[in-house]
Every structure is written in structure tokens, then in C-alpha cells.
Structure 1
Amino acid sequence: MVIEPAGPNNDNDYEILSLIKQGDRLVYEGFYKKHYKTLHILAFSYVKRHEIAEEIVNDVFINIWNKAADIAINQSFKSYIVRSVANASINYIKKEKVYAEKQEKYTRWTENTLSLEEDMEEKELVLLRLEKALDLLPPQCKKVMMMSRFEKLKQQEIADRLNISIKTVKNHLTYGFSKLRDTLSADGIVITLLIFIVFSLII
């Protein structure tokens, strides 16, 4: 059977595809112009953006032209292109969804990281002020406070190490906490509360 040349308006899809495979650009461009509007509307119904719909349709046709020799269809050529545009549109939506999810995760990670950095800076400031407040205590009182809070020694253990009575240890702790509270209160109640949080973590 001899295939007659097909023009842009030829409705024989198999013949059109055959001519495109032979490199007939006139037939290819005619088919593109004939169906572009319908395919653009189809893509737009998925992606809701005209420029993206246009890009999808153009990419499908470019792919057809470049890989025409490999195309094997068991349906009409138009149906093949319609399905290709629909699939390309769905793939675009999936990629956009994945990208949006990644962006959301990155945004949350960034916000959490910034929040953590701010929190660390605030805690460093608190610890610095705590250190300065401890330096204002009498040497023996500071030593008792440090042994109790940081070394986590029991009062009797502190008494034994410093060769003092347990009552003296208690007096040092009572005086020390009182002076720290008074000193740190000058920095505001927020800082004071943070200090007690820090102490609660290291007790």
C-alpha cells in the first residue's frame, strides 16, 4: 500500500505519525497547530497556570519529534498525545508537591535551628551571669555551692571534704541561694527564672 502525502489537516493519525517519523516537519507543525489549543486547555485543567501548560504541551511535542522513530502506539496518534500531556501534567503536579514539602521541611528546620541558636545564646548569657554572681559569694560559700550544684555531692559529703559541719554546709547553701537570687533579680524576673531552670537541670 502506497501512503499518499498528508497535509496538516489529514485525519489519518497513523499516516501522520508515519510522515513525522520520516521527518516531515510540515505535517508535524500542522498537527501541532491543529491540536495545540485543546491540549493547552487540558494541561491547564491540571496545573492551573498557562505558562506551565504551554511548556508541558511544547515539551510533549518536542519529545515526539525527537523520538518519533521509537514511538509505537496501539491507539490514535491524537489519543497518544492527549495521554502524554495528561501524564506530563500529573508528573509536574507531583514534582511540585514534593518540592513544596521539601521547602516546608527546610523552612521548619531553619526556624527550629534559629530558635535553637537563640536559645543557646540566651543560656550562654544566663550561665555567664550566673558565673559572675557566684564570684560575688565568699570563697567558702562559693565552693560549697559549686560542690552541691555542679559536682552533685550530698551535704554530708561536702562536710567531710571541707572538714566542716553539715549545719555549716546548709548555712552556706541557704546564704548562697539567697545572694544569687538577690543578685540576679537585678537582671529581671525572666533571667531569674532561667537561672532556676538551669539549676534544676544540674541538680
Structure 2
Amino acid sequence: MRNKKSYDILSDNELAILITSGDEAAFNEIYKRYWERLYVAARHRIEDSCEAEEIVQDIFCNLWRKRSNFELTKGFQNYFSVAVKFEVINRMAKKSRENRVKKEVLVWSSAVDESTSDQLDFNELQNQLAMTIRVLPEKCLLVFKLKHEKGYSQKQIAEELNIAEKTVEAHLSKARKTIRIRFGYLAEMAKSVLFL
């Protein structure tokens, strides 16, 4: 077993390889090296210090959870910089989505005839939509949120995330397909809530 003291001399790439095999000491070393930097970056983007701490914790939890498939390409500094950016965008989009869905549900429900036996349980629909959206792959979810909650164009999303417009289109297509499969005949109603 590796001496604990020797972890601090390992490179990020060496630690990344050790993390993939479940080496907790390697993970702890990465945590020690980058926690403060991540917190400062998150705090710079979000005014709430508690939320900034939550963002950092979530990023490290996600890293550990996905460790077996983790691959470091450009170093942890770059990886964490992108992770903070995505996590902040996700949180802002989530708040925006929650407010928007609440408004849409109120407008939608007021237009439905209360006496009809087909009246939908809008809270349930909202929960089902939220659960369906939440299980989208991370990048797909981010693209979907930027498009439908922030109102970004495909070009703006491509520029924001530094990916090709075709990739943006593919993520959006995947998100729509997932929602349609999950909701079946409710997909058309889901469209009106999410502006698909």
C-alpha cells in the first residue's frame, strides 16, 4: 500500500488514474488541492456562500460517483473550472425552470374546464416532467436547460459550451425523444409546458 505522505508529490494525472480504481487517499489529495480554488470560483459566480459550498461538494461527489469511468484529459484545473461553470448554470436553470413551470401550470390549469373528468393532475405532470428531465445525461440536460429555460439559440449554446451546433442539435433531439417516450400521449401536453 502506498505511503499516505507520498500522495502529495503525485501529478494530477497519476491521481486521476488512482481515483478510477477507487483509491480514496488519491481522491482526498485532489480534494485538498482543489477545494479552496473551486469554492473561490463558485463564490465568484454565486453570491450565496452556502450555495457555493454545496456546488463544490456536488462536484466532488459527482467525481467520486463517476470515478470508474473518469478520464482526465486536460488536467484537474480545467476539469474543475468547467464543472463549476456547468453546476452554476444548472442551478440557475433549475431555479428559472421551477418558476417558469409554476407559471405555466397556473396558466394551463386555468384554461382547463374544471368539470371535465379528463382534468389532469398538474402537480403530477410537473413532477413527472421534472423527473424525466433530471435523468437526462449531464451534457444533454445542460443543453436542454439552456435552450428551454434560458431561451438560448442553438448557436449561443454551441458558443457557451464550446461544442458544435450539430452536437447541440443531437442533445436536443435526444431530450425530446426521451420525453416523448416517457409520456406517450402526454407528449403534446408536455410540449405546451416546455415549449418543445
**Normalised-by-shorter TM-score class:** 0.3 to 0.5
Structure showing greater radius of gyration is 1
**TM-score normalised by L of structure 1:** 0.46
TM-score, normalization: structure 2? 0.47
